[in-house]
Amino acid sequence: MRVLAYVALLALAACAPDFRTASRQLAVGLEPRETFVQRRTSYFDAENTRLRREWSYEVLANGAQRPHGRDVQNYSDGTREYERDFVHGEPAGRWRSWWPDGKSRMEAEYGTKEAQPMRWWHATGELEAEGLALNGVKTGPWRHLRADGTLEAEGEYVAGQRSGEWNLYDERGQLAERVEFRRGVRVRRISPQ
C-alpha cells in the first residue's frame, strides 16, 4: 500500500504545472527588489544535529544568486572538510581543506592582485606540491613531491599550465630527465647537459 501511495505522489508531482514562466511574466514592470544575503545550512541527519554545510549567498535584484560570505563543510563525523570565503561571487581570503583525519589537504589565498603561496598535501601529511598561484591559478615555479617526500618534478606554470623546461625525478629523487612543456603539453625531451 505504501509503495502505491508513493508512486501516486510521484506521478502527481510530475504532472504539477510549472509556474516559473508565468511568475516571471507577472514580475515584468515591477520595481526591482534590493540585493540581500541568505544563509543556508544542510545536515547529515533529519534531526538537524550533525551539520554538513553552512554557506551564504547574495540574491540579486533580478533573482540570480552568487556566493557571498563564509562557506564551510564538514565530514559526517563532524571534522572540517573545507572552509572558504566569497565576496560578491568571487573567491576571497584564505581557502583551506582537510583530509578526513584532520590533516591539511590544501591551502591557498584568493582575492589578491599578486601571486600567493599555494600548497597541497598527500593524505599521509607529506607535502605534495607547492608554488605560487594567483586566485587559484598556478603560476611561476612549482615543486611536486611523492608521498615519501622525494622530489617528483619541478618547473614553471603559466596560466595554470606547465610551461617551459621541467625536471622530472625518479623514485630516489634523482634527476631522470628534462622535458619541455607548451601550454600544458609535453612537446620534447631535452638532452642532459
Spatial CB neighbours of 183, under 8 Å, sequence gap ≥ 6: 161, 163
Q: Assign 8 a pLDDT band (cuts: 50, 70, 90).
A: very low
- Give residue 174's pLDDT: 93
Per-residue confidence band for 9, with pLDDT thresholds at 50, 70 and 90: very low
Distance CA 148, CA 124 (A): 9
Domain extent listing, the chain: 31-95, 103-193
List, for residues 43-101, the tens digit of each pLDDT value.
Answer: 999 999 999 999 999 999 898 999 999 999 999 999 999 999 999 999 999 999 999 99
What is the predicted pLDDT for the residue at 34? Answer: 87
Q: Say what the pTM is.
A: 0.76
Which secondary-structure segment (H or E) carries 117?
A: strand 116-121
- For the chain, what is the largest distance between any 2 Cα atoms, rounded to a whole number of angstroms? 79
13-57 pLDDT, tens digit each: 555 566 556 555 555 555 557 889 999 999 999 999 999 999 999
Q: How far is CA 85 from the centre of its chain?
A: 11
- pLDDT 10s digits, 104-160: 999 999 999 999 999 999 999 999 999 999 999 999 999 999 999 999 999 999 999
Q: What is the CATH number of domain 103-193?
A: 3.90.930.1
CA distances from 63 to 55, 58, 183 (A): 18, 9, 39
Contact 96, 82 (CB under 8 A): yes
